[in-house]
Structure 1
C-alpha cells in the first residue's frame, strides 16, 4: 500500500493541463464548456493516495463532492455538471487522509461556461434585377449569445444555398461571405442568374490559434446551431429586347 502524502494539489483537467505560472498570466481559460459539455477534473496526486484517502471537490468554496480512493485510477475524478451558468467557475480540491488529516487547498482551476446562442438571417434586398451586374443582396447572419464571449473564442460560419430548389455548388459561383469570425457574418449574393435563392447558415464556437485551452461541447462540434429561419432572395430575369412592327 502506498504511503499517504498530504500536499498542496492542483486540480487539473483529465488531459493533465497543468495550471502553471505561465498559464495564469494568460487571458485564456484552461477549459471552455458549451451546451451540455462537461470536463473531468483530475488531481495527479491521486497516484500518492492510499486506500481510504479522500479527495474533496469545491465550487466557489462550497463542497460539491467527495471521492474515496480505492486503488482504481481516476477514481477521484470530478465531472463538472452539464448545466453550469455562463461565465467563470472556480474549482478547488484538497486531500483528506484515511486518518482524517486534511491537506492544503489547491489553487483554483477555472472552467468557463460559454453561453447558448441563436442564429438569425436577414437580407438587405428581397429581390433585385439580374440584368444589372451592379446590384446585389447582402444576407446577414447574426449570432446572438446570452453574453459577450471571452477572449480566445470566436465563431465559424458555414453558408449553404439552393437555387430553385437545387443545391448551389460551389457557393462561390453566386457570391461570397466576408470571412468574419465575429457575431456578424455577411454573404453577398451578386449573381446575375435569375432564380429563387434560399440561404441557410450554421455557426459554432472555435478557439483562436493562440488559445491553449480545451473546448468541450455537448455535440463535439463547437455547439453548432442552424439559423432559426432561411432567407430568400429573388433574382428577377432580364426582360427580352422588344421589336417594333406596324400593325
Structure 2
C-alpha cells in the first residue's frame, strides 16, 4: 500500500513537471521580416526537376506563384512580398511535372512578419542641480509596436547625447542605461557637470541567442528607428561656497 502511494505521488510530480516545462517552451520561426524585408523561399528538390516541370507556391493555401523550370538554378524560388500583415504566415509548395503529374504538398514553412515600431523619449526631471546630491534625471525610451513580440525577438537600444552641442563620449561618464531589451529602456543621467544635455536613442530588432531563426529587414539593420524627438535635460551649476567678511 505504501509503495503504491509513493508511486502515485511520483507520477503526479512527473505530470506537473511536464506541464511546467511545456508552459515555458519557446516558439521560434525560421525567418522574421520587418519593414520592407523579404525572404527568398527555395525548394532543394529543384535539383531533381526536368525542363518544363513547375513549382507552385501557396500562402495559407492560396496560390501566389508558379515557376517553370528551364534548367537554371534557383529559378523556381519565390520571394515573399515586402508588405505582409503582422504575424505568422504559412507557405507551402507543390511540384507538377511537365507530363502533368502532381507531387505531394510540402510541409508549411512559417514566416513571421514583425510590426513596425516607433520610439519616444520622456524624462522625469527636465532639470536638476549638479550639487552632488541624489538628484538625477531618468530618460525613458518607450518602443511602441503594433503588437506583442514573438519568442526569440527583442529590442536593442543605443543611446547618444550632446552637452552644450558637443557629443558626449563615452556616455558612461554621465550615466548609464538599464540594459533592458524590452519595450522600455531607461537611461539615468547622474552627472554633476552643469550644462544642457540633449538625448537621442535608436532601437532595432535582434534575435536572442537561443533563436536560430533569421531576421531580414528592409534596412539590413534590424529595422532601426530613431526617437521621434530628442529629450533635453538641464543640469544647473552648483552655487559657489560663500565666504563671510565684515562689510
Query: What TM-score, normalized to structure 2?
Result: 0.88
Q: Does the 8 Å contact 1:32/1:213 carry over to 2?
A: yes
By how many angstroms is 1:140 displaced? Answer: 0.3
By how many angstroms is 1:200 displaced? Answer: 0.3
1:27 paired residue number: 27
Counterpart CA distance in 2 for 1:181 and 1:240 is 41
* 1:59/1:199 CA distance change after superposition, 3 Å: same
DSSP 3-state at the match of 2:211: coil
Counterpart CA distance in 2 for 1:49 and 1:26 is 37
Counterpart CA distance in 2 for 1:32 and 1:64 is 19
Q: Does the 8 Å contact 1:59/1:90 carry over to 2?
A: yes
Counterpart CA distance in 2 for 1:188 and 1:100 is 67
Counterpart CA distance in 2 for 1:27 and 1:139 is 33
Counterpart CA distance in 2 for 1:218 and 1:35 is 6
Number of equivalenced pairs: 223
1:199 paired residue number: 199
2:131 paired residue number: 131
2:15 paired residue number: none
2:186 paired residue number: 186
Q: Does the 8 Å contact 2:160/2:199 carry over to 1?
A: yes
Q: Does the 8 Å contact 1:53/1:98 carry over to 2?
A: yes
Greater mean deviation of Cα atoms: 97-106 or 72-81 = 97-106
Counterpart CA distance in 2 for 1:188 and 1:246 is 44
* 1:26/1:123 CA distance change after superposition, 3 Å: closer
- Does 1:227 find its partner at 2:244? no
Structure 1: gaps of 5 or more residues: 1-24
Counterpart CA distance in 2 for 1:240 and 1:190 is 20
Q: Which structure 2 residues correspond to residues 1-247 of structure 1 after superposition, within 5 A? A: 27-247=27-247
Structure possessing the higher radius of gyration over alpha carbons: 2
DSSP 3-state at the match of 2:172: helix
By how many angstroms is 1:246 displaced? Answer: 4.5
Coordinate RMSD, CA, aligned: 1.1
Runs of 4 or more, structure 1, over 3 Å off, are 243-247
Which structure's residues are more often helix, by fraction? 2
DSSP 3-state at the match of 2:73: coil
By how many angstroms is 1:245 displaced? Answer: 4.2
By how many angstroms is 1:102 displaced? Answer: 1.1
